[in-house]
Structure 1
Amino acid sequence: FNTPRILKSGAFQYTVPTKRKNHRFLLASPRALEDLNLKLDEFGEELLSGESFYYDDRIFPYAQAYAGFQFGQFAGQLGDGRVVNLFDLETESGERFELQLKGAGKTAFSRFADGKAVVRSSIREFIMSEALNGIGVPTTRALSLSLLPGTLAQRNYAEQCAVVSRFAESWLRLGTFDLYRYRKDRNGLRELCDYTITKVLKELPEFSANRYKEDKYSDVTEGGGPDENVIDILDSSRYDQMYRQIVRLNAKVVAYWQVYGFLNGVLNTDNTSAIGLSMDFGPFSFLDKFNPKYTPNHDDVQLRYSYENQPSIVWWNLTRLAESLVELIGAGPDLVDDEFFVEHGVREDQGPDVLKRAESIIYLASNEYKETFMDNYNRLMSLRLGLKSVMDGDNELFAQLLDVLYKTQVDYNQFFIKLQLSNLDDHLIFLSKDVHERYAHPQDKVDVERNKEAEDLITKWLESYKERLSREGITQEQRRNIAQAHNPLFIPRNWMLEEVISEVEDSRGEEYGRLEKLLLMSSYPYNPEKWGNKLKDLETKWLQNEVDAVNFMKQCSCSS
């Protein structure tokens, strides 16, 4: 099963989980179990830990192949190097999810890797998957975490190993399309697109093909080309619609990331979802403090995946997708199903028109990406501020807020909580604890000047904010009701994850109360009643984010 190979066709290879010395199911996500309407028995736990696997005449485990651009460079064939896809789960409502195990052993696509996942990275992915879902961010999910006692992986040192079971509507990546382009497999690419349309996206919204011809946000990403080079698109093919739907879905998820301060850390095409899900959690982080140039990836020395670059990098990835699809989106509805085109491709005399049409589709999609991103960003930011709708001038209000957050360095997400609870008269409650204390007991002139500036910035912004509330006639109660539905009371931070990981590693999985607590708080971030009655002091510490400043804005390596 696991002999390394380069696929000449297709995008998967049958495989099975590697048998380990010991398998120990640790815990499952209660929210995932609830959403899937699952009850786990002993065999279910064995399946999710990789100790057993299921197959019949229609089902057998497999690993997916894909290619990818990593840090801007094409890396050739990649694939599930330690992931085994088990089977699909179907809920009572008819939703289907693909279930897989990460850390389940070598596959045909492991290349130089060992097929293992360490406890550290497994806990991080387990928690973050459920945290993003709890907030409302489109994401892949985690179902369970299992330990592999006696199995070690050599990273910077010998680390304990684990298995995460995770699920998603689809694990299709932009890198899957890269694979077919890399192989110059025209027929395979067309089959992949047809599968994506019918089985993955299922519905393709219809609208005027020339919609988004105007570039309203030329400064948001590097766009697709000048207006004068765009031709009128008279009608859309199903492949045009597929591409633009993938663009829309990714624009939406990036807006969520930017509003809630989430950074993936490694946005290569092989871990960019074709259906707009957050996925593949490695050196991720939430913003502790607002710094647009922050990257959680220690290896990202060029800041390629920094907070401010996430929107443009995802568009860069989507442009690589368009290059893979250039023949299909360039052909148009009249040519794309032509018998000669299907069999042989573009005739020489058709080439210029096909290329022109493809460039125009990409240009329209770039505008659509920017507008979809901005519409969702403005909508979500408005809701976090307790506003009923988006009005003219809100962009300036949001920009001023980010300037305040950057210059004062107050906690990014806690600011919104303090704002929704505030009567908007006491500006000092918005200052971080250390800044507040220095303002109350200044040590020297520098501190006085710095904190006076912070006070003035917040006061000025609050006046603009109160004026905006008045324009829409929003009462304090209405503002709080709107905001509290969109401001999570809790967001897991890297320093909390480090505490949890240390407890599990040091006890070799015998103690994991902090992990259970973090899972509950992360899974239900708007509802403290779901957090349980254990470890209340720890809960308070985490809620107040009480830790030395050296623990904020930390970076991780890609090692996992």
Structure 2
Amino acid sequence: MTSSKPLHQLPLPARTLQSSLSQLPLSSQSSAQRRSTIFKGSTPGIWARVNPMWAPWPIRLSKEEAEDLGVNVERGEKIDVEDILKSWEPNDVLQQGAENGLDLKSSKRREKLEPIILGISPSALKESLPHLDVGDLLEICKAGEQPTSGNSTREIFIDILSGRKVLASDNYGPWATRYSGHQFGQWAGQLGDGRVVSVLETESEQGGRQEIQLKGAGRTPFSRADDGLAHLRSGIREFLGCEAVAALGIPTTRALTLLTIPLPYLPVFREGTIHPSSLLTRVAPSFIRVGHFEALNPPSSAAGGRQFFVGGGGWIDDQTEEEGEEAGNGNLEGLRDLGDWMKEIMEVKEGWKSWVDEVIKKNAEMVAKWQVYGYMNGVINTDNVTLMGITIDYGPYAFMDVFDQKHVSNQSDPSGMYAYRNQVSRIQFALSKFIDSVSPLLGYESIHGNILKGWSEGKTKEDIKGWSEKGKEVMKGWEKVFEEHEEESEMKGWFGLKTEQQYDQRDIKYDFLNYLQVHDLDFHTAFRGLYEFSPTKASSESGDKYIKEFVPHWVRSAVDKSASDDSLKLAEEDFVRWFGIYAKRANLGDEKSAWGSTDDWEPARAADMRKRNPTFVLRQWILEELLGKMEKALTDPYKAAQSKDDVDKQKVEEGVRTARTELWKILEMATNPFENWAQGEGSEEELEAQRRLCGVGAKEMFGYQCGCSS
């Protein structure tokens, strides 16, 4: 068992991203980390050294802050933006050379940050970073209390994850990456980590390799016109979304912590409204996306494109290489290096095609589980589809309420491109662009074998075109392989079935989902209730009577209470027929044998179904209610004050306590979705609250949509 260590002492992996991939060229000016910059497609690197800067943009400076920088405001003295940004540079070494070779650094300006931790995920800590010591933070977040004594481990942990302090050496430090991508089906050019900064990589025997990343950490060279911040609602949604999805067994990034800053010190402006800020710590083995490969080998449609970034950038051509044989080829050496890096991360020791096959498999399995659990990501572009096949970037996501194949969770998607029924095809689209990007590697390998450094140097456009065509030929038929992987991870287990039969897709899955949609039944309640059905009783002499008694109860548990008697009758008629077919299917000899003993197969089957179909679902109504409670608790003390000197500190602490405990309550249920909530120990008040949270909520919240603004 690995002993736990404070965050600043965690070991680095033997091979890091920065030691493996080329660095993007940025000037040494402090403003270079914040100024939007478009890099040519021929640039080999994907990462730049960028320190987190949890601060407003455009920069706002108070009179006191200006005076701290030596500026006499009364005399009308002015200060350059460069000087302001220099004050954020972590040049003060607070602690030298831990075992990992990294110094702990800060600056006077950084030390003024007042981060507040709102939540920490015990599950993410245990499963991804079991070797990390967080001090007494779990107890603090669960109880909601303010710490009564110092704890250096806790304090350093919060300092690093808020950017108050920075871990760095001459050869390693925080970074952000560039990627490009297709958005809503169209080439969007360079994108990148516009508000994300990675601060550390580490590795442990139990948790494997993990990258620790801050979201909402301020401006980067890839921020375009944005401020690099995230508001509180966005942070809460992603914090809970990550952990809820992980608990369902869907591959995902993990959320470790959620921080905020008192409203007056860092308000975030969105759509004419002021919100508190949030800073989310998320963790994954890798955050590399399809778009990272598109940046190094852009599509032909990228040639001649122009982008304009506000915030220090200007008009810059994409693909502005000199005309010649190598023009417009991106950077194939960088492409090889990035692919080689990801092969190692994904532990693929075979050739390049085997690696691409693994990327396809992982993404097929991920989206299959999305469909099984009625999860809708809201946006599926090449810049948020990962090589690891993990769910990432929780924006306008939602879990299905009343089942509707056409449901769209993103209010910014009027065409329904990312609707529930289209998610599989959108993942396929992203993978097709990935294959386009890496096709030169696949083709070269097929023709020449091993791909060594320098493989593309001096080659002509015709050479590369030939490799690309060969690579696409090598991957011909990949869509069928994708579909096979996706179908293997399909819903049969959620129906309590272990074997495959010829007409299962039609008679079991399709008809069931069709009836759910036709009769407006809740997706999750309907699936959860299946475990109570007894195929044995349904196949006995009194089976028809059993089914006719079971179905009305089951339908009423999953349908809105306002449903008319006529609509209930129609639903019951359809489902009586379906349950009759389902009972015969579940009672087949091969099926019963697959559960072990044919004498006690039903209890084993029911127990398995309870482990697959959740009692608690992170529905939109729950999120919206929680967001309102937390934002109110954290902002009311400031709104009630006449001035900053008039703020009631006790009410501020009470607000933080409320926010922490409310978040912990939902986190606990979201990370234990299969528990028999409302049936265990606790006061009647607690059990009633759990029953309510396991319910479908008010009808007006069914299908609630979120936008992309965060």
What band does the TM-score fall into relative to the shorter chain? 0.7 to 0.9
The yes-or-no answer on 1:241 pairing with 2:354 is yes
Post-superposition offset of 1:333: 3.4
| The one of 383, 386, 395 aligned to 1:270 | 383
Is the Cα contact below 8 Å between 1:142 and 1:165 reproduced in 2? yes
| The one of 509, 528, 539 aligned to 1:417 | 528
Deviates more, 1:32-41 or 1:264-273: 32-41
Deviates more, 1:395-404 or 1:424-433: 424-433
Counterpart residue number, 1:481: 607
Is the Cα contact below 8 Å between 1:335 and 1:341 reproduced in 2? no
The yes-or-no answer on 1:39 pairing with 2:133 is yes
Unaligned runs of 5+ in 1: 207-237
Is the Cα contact below 8 Å between 1:147 and 1:161 reproduced in 2? yes
Counterpart residue number, 2:514: 403
Root mean square deviation of aligned Cα: 2.3
The yes-or-no answer on 1:15 pairing with 2:50 is yes
Identical positions, percent = 31
Is the Cα contact below 8 Å between 1:25 and 1:46 reproduced in 2? no
Q: 1:558 to 1:309 in 2, by over 3 A?
A: same
Counterpart residue number, 1:526: 674
| The one of 340, 347, 352 aligned to 1:202 | 347
Q: 1:421 to 1:45 in 2, by over 3 A?
A: farther
Is the Cα contact below 8 Å between 2:560 and 2:699 reproduced in 1? no
Q: 1:48 to 1:429 in 2, by over 3 A?
A: farther
Post-superposition offset of 1:346: 6.1
Question: Taking structure 2 as the reference length, what is the TM-score of the superposition?
Answer: 0.69
Counterpart residue number, 2:252: 139
Give the letter aligned to residue 538 of structure 1.
Answer: A
The yes-or-no answer on 1:61 pairing with 2:180 is no
Counterpart residue number, 1:227: none
**1:289-300 equivalences in 2 (<5 Å):** 289-300=402-413
Post-superposition offset of 1:22: 2.6
Q: Distance in 1 between matches of 2:155 and 2:485?
A: 46
Deviations 1:92-139 (A, max 9, x none): 426011001111111111110001100001000000100011010000
Give the match's secondary structure for 2:297: helix
Q: 1:101 to 1:275 in 2, by over 3 A?
A: same
Counterpart residue number, 1:153: 268
Post-superposition offset of 1:141: 0.4
Is the Cα contact below 8 Å between 2:46 and 2:292 reproduced in 1? yes
Is the Cα contact below 8 Å between 1:327 and 1:346 reproduced in 2? no
Q: Distance in 1 between matches of 2:505 and 2:675?
A: 30
The yes-or-no answer on 1:317 pairing with 2:443 is no
Post-superposition offset of 1:42: 1.7
Is the Cα contact below 8 Å between 1:409 and 1:432 reproduced in 2? no
Counterpart residue number, 1:553: 703
Give the match's secondary structure for 2:363: helix
Give the letter aligned to residue 459 of structure 1.
Answer: V
Unaligned runs of 5+ in 2: 1-32, 56-112, 135-153, 299-318, 320-329, 539-546, 596-600, 635-654
Counterpart residue number, 1:210: none
Counterpart residue number, 1:163: 279
Q: Distance in 2 between matches of 1:15 and 1:347?
A: 35
Q: 1:347 to 1:496 in 2, by over 3 A?
A: closer
Counterpart residue number, 2:456: 342
Post-superposition offset of 1:308: 0.6
Post-superposition offset of 1:348: 4.2
Q: 1:322 to 1:86 in 2, by over 3 A?
A: same
Post-superposition offset of 1:58: 4.6
Deviates more, 1:482-491 or 1:470-479: 470-479
Give the letter aligned to residue 342 of structure 1.
Answer: S
Q: Distance in 2 between matches of 1:317 and 1:75?
A: 13
Give the match's secondary structure for 2:230: coil
Q: Distance in 2 between matches of 1:148 and 1:34?
A: 26
| The one of 686, 689, 700 aligned to 1:538 | 689
Q: Distance in 2 between matches of 1:163 and 1:66?
A: 22
Post-superposition offset of 1:359: 3.1
Counterpart residue number, 1:491: 617
Deviates more, 1:356-365 or 1:528-537: 528-537
Is the Cα contact below 8 Å between 1:405 and 1:412 reproduced in 2? yes
Is the Cα contact below 8 Å between 1:68 and 1:78 reproduced in 2? yes
Counterpart residue number, 1:209: none
Q: 1:86 to 1:528 in 2, by over 3 A?
A: farther
Deviations 1:387-432 (A, max 9, x none): 2233332212111111111112111011111111244631012224
**1:188-199 equivalences in 2 (<5 Å):** 188-198=334-344
Is the Cα contact below 8 Å between 2:230 and 2:278 reproduced in 1? yes
Give the match's secondary structure for 2:518: helix
Q: Distance in 1 between matches of 2:465 and 2:44?
A: 26
The yes-or-no answer on 1:50 pairing with 2:196 is no
Counterpart residue number, 2:63: none
| The one of 415, 436, 452 aligned to 2:569 | 452
Q: Distance in 2 between matches of 1:54 and 1:87?
A: 8
Give the letter aligned to residue 47 of structure 2.
Answer: F
